[in-house]
Amino acid sequence: MPDASAQPTTAADRAIPGPLAGYTTLGTGGTPARIVAADSADEIIRAVRAADEPILILAGGSNVVIGDDGFPGTVVLVRSRGLHVVAEDAESVTVRVEAGEPWDDLVAATVANGWAGLECLSGIPGSTGATPIQNVGAYGQEVAETITGVEVYDRVDGTRRIIPAAECGFAYRGSIFKYGDRWVVLSVDFQLARSPLSGPVRYAELARALGVEVGDQVPLADARAAVLRLRAGKGMVLDANDPDTRSVGSFFTNPVLDGATYELLRERAADVGEPPAWPGADGMVKVSAAWLIDKAGFTKGHPGPGGTAISSKHTLALTNRSGTAHTADLLALARDIRDEVHARFGVTLHPEPVLVNCTL
């Protein structure tokens, strides 16, 4: 195994010792063969070109579960920062944001500048470059609504280019970037409205917190503050003093079912109530994973092996509550939940985070 403490020779080849647990919000993950840091798009490209295969691109570490054996190749830490306006008119502004820019710093800046479109995504941990990968969304907004293009390094042909939003394959918590390593995200372009008011509030829970009706608009700062309060109440805002935040946020996505499967679910759930659901296109129905987990017997605070637990605030978050758990412990808890939900309701839950050198 290469020496992870070797002295760097260039800015893009600064070797950093230590296990990957220190670079993730979950706090688990073993030691890789090598870690290097990159502070700009050019450095990211150079690091990727120079690295031995396989390669893991890691930024905020908020949506990744890394195996206890670490990673058998080079980890490139994305540490690029900054944003600048690349286009504007009387009604909108397009801002280009470096991949390593902390996401909530960006959201705070857009609210402060009177740029609407990201305010309901406040408090989400991680980096900007990660947001198009899983089409980050919360409280009625998702990044696909404002992204106009994603600048990438194409590892297949060695080129640097911008992929238009229409070619990104955005879907519910997914994109062309999520299940492959061809493209390395370098920056993201967002087109935002010049407005002191939020977009129409779409999420009922947020509307109640704001004291408005669904469809109303509120000052940007009010929307951001309400979202931060709601997320903090669910342990979804990073806090070193709150073990519930030692997680990857929601571990499972909300299942999207066809009409027939949804009706079967309703029949199997008749003794515990009506499954919360939201109709979608083509007769598809999205149902609440949190409800399924709870009704399958895994309530808030449910303990798992090795000091893991379901968050005491939110059933969708699986936590390294003790701070000393291993990835294997967390995955064992996740498997128990997945298998029991399937046995009870006939619905299969799928993980939202990216699993690296481990499987569910």
> In angstroms, rounded to a whole number, what is the distance separating the alpha carbons of residues 121 and 139?
7
**Residues that are catalytic:** 173, 250, 352
For the chain, the three-class secondary structure string (H helix, E strand, C coil) is: CCCCCCCCCCHHHEECCCCHHHHCCCCCCCCCCEEEEECCHHHHHHHHHHCCCCEEEECCCCCEEECCCCCCCEEEEECCCCEEEEEECCCEEEEEEECCCEHHHHHHHHHHCCEECCHHHCCCCCEHHHCCCCCCEECCEEHHHCEEEEEEEECCCCEEEEEEHHHCCCECCECCCCCCCCEEEEEEEEEEEECCECCCCCCHHHHHHHCCCCCCCCEHHHHHHHHHHHHHHCCCCCCCCCHHHCCCCECECCCEECHHHHHHHHHHCCCCCCCCEEECHHHCEEECHHHHHHHCCCCCCCECHHHCEECCCCCCEEECCCCCCCHHHHHHHHHHHHHHHHHHHCCCCCECCEEECCCC
